[in-house]
Amino acid sequence: MVGRFSGKVAIITGSSFGIGRETALLFAKEGAKVTVTGRNEERLQGTRQALLDSGIPETNFLIVPADITTSSGQDTLISKTLERFGKLDILVNNAGASIPDSQKRTGINQGIETYEQVMRLNVQSVIEMTQKVRPHLAKSKGDIVNVSSIVALNFGWARTPYYPLAKAALDQYTRSAAIDLIHEGIRVNTVNPGVVQTGFHESATGLSSDASQKFYDDMGSNPSAIPCGFSGRPEHIAKAIAFLAHRDSSEYIIGQNIIADGGTSLVLGLHAQFPRQTKN
Ligand code: NDP
């Protein structure tokens, strides 16, 4: 395959569904060899089929079932990628979630075990993966893109405080890692999505997929929530990730965040008091 990522090898975590799946598809369509990963076999098969349906040959992708929060899962992911493709150029740390409290507690009463699970997935696994791929990316002068969230920005999030805490920590880690690693030729950057139609809301709330779709539709039709008028789709985020992962497109961007949210972070709740603005 000839394309922007021709000759590149990428690991995309959390690529069994949602934003990660779309990113794997985009990278593969643009010539990359990709390692697809996640825990759920059925979802992994869904990504496999989507790749095949897009004309990507089996030789250009590898599927590695793994729990990214475990050391053995991380090691398997990296070693199998190297074994199959011989090198690594790009790591997209996309796996993440707002893990619900097991006892349905909300706000600051959420349990410490919830805090630990959320931090382990959204921050610690990124730190560990970054440490482990460092020698390989130093060799290839590679790129890391982390997937954060607009909840990391400077406002509160009362119901589930640990998820925004984790994503804010991830943003700060991106900046520190970026300065440390650029000396070895490795770039680190972040994409912060707003509301995107994936499995995220379903797994965060336990709602059905129909109820989650209604949430995405309602948010999209509320200009006080999403000024551009629709909830994001995974490809919107995949394109931003690809821009930051592609050296020629973004070579001089180091340790930065791209906010891809349809304008959500620009509007205040105060705007909900005013009727929708219409064109004259
Ligand atoms: P999805 O729930 O659709 O996908 C999440 C992916 O992460 C799945 O592939 C899932 O795989 C994987 N994953 C979760 N936990 C683990 C684990 N322990 N080990 C391995 N893989 C895991 O959500 P999105 O695509 O929306 O989420 C992608 C990223 O985008 C996340 O970091 C999320 O925080 C961020 N984000 C999403 C927003 C949205 O509105 N959708 C908004 C802002 C940020 P599996 O189930 O197979 O384990």
Quickly list DSSP for 185-213: T-EEEEEEE-SB-SSHHHHHH---HHHHH
Distance CA 257, CA 239 (A): 14
Q: Which fold has domain 9-273?
A: Rossmann fold (3.40.50)
CA of 51 to the centre of ligand 1 (A): 19
The residues near 259 (Cβ < 8 Å, ≥ 6 apart) are 150, 153, 192, 194, 265
Element (H, E) at 247: helix 247-250
Quote the distance between the C-alpha of residue 84 and its chain's center: 24
Closest protein CA for atom 33 of ligand 1: 96
The three-class DSSP label of residue 156 is coil
Lining ligand 1 with CB less than 6 A are: 14-20, 38-40, 43, 67-69, 94-97, 121, 147, 149, 193, 195-196, 198-200, 203
* pLDDT, position 278: 46
Backbone angles phi, psi at 92, to 5 degrees: -105, 110
* pLDDT, position 155: 86
Each domain of the chain, given as residue ranges in start order, spans 9-273
Q: Please give the chain's pLDDT, 280 residues, in tens.
A: 679 999 999 999 999 999 999 999 999 999 999 999 999 999 999 999 999 999 999 999 999 999 999 999 999 999 999 999 999 999 999 999 999 999 999 999 999 999 999 999 999 999 999 999 999 999 999 999 999 999 999 988 899 999 999 999 999 999 999 999 999 999 999 999 999 999 999 999 999 999 999 999 999 999 999 999 999 999 999 999 999 999 999 999 999 999 999 999 999 777 666 655 544 3
Strands (E), 116-175: 143-147
